[in-house]
């Protein structure tokens, strides 16, 4: 990626926009079960926020700010998604049986807690990892 000079307005807007986009991405993830959204869309949204960061700043800077190793995201996400499937078998249910219940939480009031969310978080992590791993690998490639 080439570095542009004097991009103060782009940098400032990016810094604000990234937070808004990331928040929206979390909203999509958590609201996905009952409203449009879900792990896949949320993750793509988060990935595009980080891509925005990569576009406005250079690769080295972003690596300092976000010192993540993206293959771990993929591995962790897959483990979580499969873990939800396996854990249901431990209780004698078929693979990937999901459970949910409504609980009263202190601040949020009556809230639905579901294992499907855990599964979705696994999807979220994998998709973020995949998108960013591919983009950064191709961008870093010098040959």
Q: How far is the CB of 10 from another protein (least distance, A)?
A: 16
For another protein, the binding residues (CB under 8 A) are: 28, 32-41, 44-45, 47-48, 51, 70-71, 74-75, 77-78, 81-82, 85, 95-96, 98, 100, 112, 114, 116, 119-120, 122-123, 126-127, 129-131, 133-135, 137-139, 141, 143
Nearer to another protein, 8 or 94 (CB): 94
Nearer to another protein, 8 or 102 (CB): 102
Nearer to another protein, 13 or 139 (CB): 139
Q: How far is the CB of 6 from another protein (least distance, A)?
A: 23
Greatest alpha-carbon span in the chain: 62
Nearer to another protein, 110 or 141 (CB): 141
């Amino acid at each position: 990626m080439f570095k542009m000079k004097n991009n103060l307005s782009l940098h400032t807007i990016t810094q604000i926009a990234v937070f808004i986009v990331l928040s929206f991405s979390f909203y999509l993830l958590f609201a996905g079960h009952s409203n449009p959204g879900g792990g896949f869309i949320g993750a793509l949204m988060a990935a595009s926020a980080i891509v925005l960061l990569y576009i406005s700043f250079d690769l080295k800077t972003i690596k300092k700010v976000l010192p993540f190793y993206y293959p771990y995201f993929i591995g962790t996400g897959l483990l979580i998604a499969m873990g939800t499937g396996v854990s249901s078998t431990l209780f004698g249910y078929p693979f990937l049986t999901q459970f949910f219940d409504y609980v009263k939480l202190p601040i949020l009031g009556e809230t639905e807690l579901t294992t499907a969310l855990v599964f979705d978080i696994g999807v979220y992590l994998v998709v973020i990892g995949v998108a960013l791993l591919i983009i950064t690998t191709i961008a870093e490639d010098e040959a």
